[in-house]
Amino acid sequence: MSERRALLRRIRVWLAVFIVCLVLSGLTAFPLVHELHWLEDLMKASASPVPEHFPALMEWIERVRAGLDATDEKYPFVLYGTDWLAFAHLVIAVAFYGPYRDPVRNIWVIEFGMIACAGIIPLALICGPIRGIPFWWSVIDMSFGVFGVIPLYVVRRKIKRLETLTAQAEGPVPAAATV
């Protein structure tokens, strides 16, 4: 297998993992009420160390679950916003098919994703306190940007290498004729 083919394969593997993570992240935003009930039950299970060792986390999960229950009961239309959040994740995942198909031509999607990952940090730092989110939870939110940018950075570097290899394989570009 040529170096270009191997590089393209590695790019596609990284992108496939990234796409799957985006899809899973999106799909989990649909059933939030049920997920919070399952999470709370899991954390309260007899084998769980969370209530004893992480009481603040347990209190936060209980508060979020109670808030979602009240919202779902009285104002279910508010949860429509999380449906749009889920949809946005799915649409963004589809956008990464472009670089999967043609990485060099669609490197801009990777760079856009990197910018979006960087944008998570100011969003969490500004909106978290405004919405009463505990700082440690904002740190968890910011970690999605930090961990999301890592595979995109790796892919971008690999695409740049692929671009160089492709240019070398095609040879010099003839100069444009002057009029």
Q: What angle do CA 96, 24, 112 make, to 5 degrees?
A: 30
pLDDT at 179 over 60: no
**Whole-prediction pTM value?**
0.85
Q: Is residue 16 scored above 90 in pLDDT? A: yes
Per-residue confidence (pLDDT) for residue 168, from 0 to 100: 86
Average pLDDT over residues 23-51: 93
Higher pLDDT, 179 or 7: 7
Q: For the chain, give the mean pLDDT.
A: 93
Question: Which tens digit of pLDDT belongs to each residue from 159-175?
Answer: 999 999 988 888 776 66
Instruction: Give the Cα separation of 149 and 115 in Å (integer).
Output: 9
For the chain, give the number of residues.
179
pLDDT in tens, 80-98: 999 999 999 999 999 999 9
**Which of the 8 DSSP states describes residue 20?**
H
Instruction: Please say if the pLDDT value at position 10 is more than 60.
Output: yes
From residue 44, give the alpha-carbon distance in Å to each of 73, 110, 128, 129. Answer: 23, 40, 26, 27
* pLDDT interval class at 176 (50, 70, 90): low
pLDDT at 6 over 60: yes
Has residue 43 got a pLDDT over 60?
yes
Residue 173 has what pLDDT?
61
